[in-house]
Amino acid sequence: MVSEARTAATREALGPTLVKLVEEGLDIVVVDADLGVSTSAARFGQKCPDRFITVGVTEQNMVGVAAGLAACDKIAFVSSFAVFLPGHCYDQVRMAIAQPNLNVKLVASHGGVVTGEDGASAQSLEDFSLMLALPNFRVIVPADVVEAEQAIRVAANTSGPFYIRTIRPKVPVIYDDGYRFELGTWDLLRPGHDVTLIATGVLVKAALDAAGLLAADGVDARVLNAACLKPADEAAVLAAASQTGAIVTAEDHQVHGGLGSVVAGITARTSPVPIEFVGMQDRYGTSGRWDELLEHFELTPAAIARAARDVIARKSG
Amino acid sequence: MPSLTPADARELESVAKRIRRDIIRMVAEANSGHPGGSLSCADILTALYFRVLNHDPKDPTMAGRDRFVMSKGHASPAMYSVLAEAGYFPTDELLTFRKLGSRLQGHNVRGVPPGVEMSAGALGMGLSFSLGVALAGRMDADARGGRDYSVYCLLSDGDCNEGQTWEAAAAASHHKAENLIAIVDYNHIQNDGYSDFARFSGRDGKDGRAGGWVLEDGHTVNILSLAPLPERWRAFGWNVQEIDGHDFPQIVDALEKAKAHRGGPSVVICQTTKGKGVSFMENNPAFHGKAPNAEETEQALKELAG
What is the amino acid identity at position A202? V
User: In chain B, which residues have their Cβ closer than 8 Å to the Cβ of A100?
Assistant: 109-111, 118-119
Asked whether the beta carbons of residue A71 and residue B110 sit closer than 8 angstroms, the reply is yes
* Per-residue burial over A88-108, b = 16 or more CB atoms within 10 Å of its CB, e = otherwise: bbbebbbbbbbbbbbbbbbbb
Catalytic residue among A12, A59, A149, A276: A59
- Judged by CB atoms closer than 8 Å, whether chains meet at B137 and A72 is answered as yes
- Pairwise CB contact (< 8 Å): A91 & B122: yes
Contact B47, B185 (CB under 8 A): no
Q: Which of A252, A225, A248, A221 is nearest to A236 (CA)?
A: A225
Q: What is the pLDDT along chain B (306 residues), one digit of tens a residue?
A: 667 999 999 999 999 999 999 999 999 999 999 999 999 999 999 999 999 999 999 999 999 999 999 999 999 999 999 999 999 999 999 999 999 999 999 999 999 999 999 999 999 999 999 999 999 999 998 777 767 899 999 999 999 999 999 999 999 999 999 999 999 999 999 999 999 999 998 876 666 778 899 999 999 999 999 999 999 999 999 999 999 999 999 999 999 999 999 999 999 999 999 999 999 999 999 999 999 999 999 999 999 998
B50 DSSP 8-state letter: I
Convert the pLDDT of each residue in A244-300 to its tens digit.
999 999 999 999 999 999 999 999 999 999 999 999 999 999 999 999 999 999 999
Q: Provide the b/e sequence for A151-190 (b: ≥16 CB within 10 Å).
A: bbbbbbeeebbbbbbbbbbebbbbbeeeeebebebbbbbb
Q: What ipTM does this complex have?
A: 0.95
Q: How far is B297 from chain A (nearest CA, A)?
A: 33
CA A174, A145, A307, A260 torsion: positive or negative? negative
Chain A residues within an 8 Å CB radius of B109: 99-100
Q: CA-CA distances (angstroms) from residue A187 to A36, A174, A204, A301, A315?
A: 30, 12, 11, 19, 24
Cβ contact, residue pair B132, A60, below 8 Å: no
Q: Which residues pair with A230 in a beta bridge?
A: A139
* Whether pTM exceeds 0.90: yes
Which helix (H) or strand (E) covers residue A294, if one does? Answer: helix A290-296
Q: Is A117 a catalytic residue?
A: no
Between chains, do A92 and B128 touch, taking CB under 8 Å as contact? yes
- Residue B125: its chain A contacts at CB < 8 A? 60, 64, 92, 95-96
Task: Pick from B70, B125, B155, B166 the residue to mutate for testing the A interface (most A CBs within 10 Å).
Answer: B125
> B140 near A72, Cβ under 8 Å?
yes
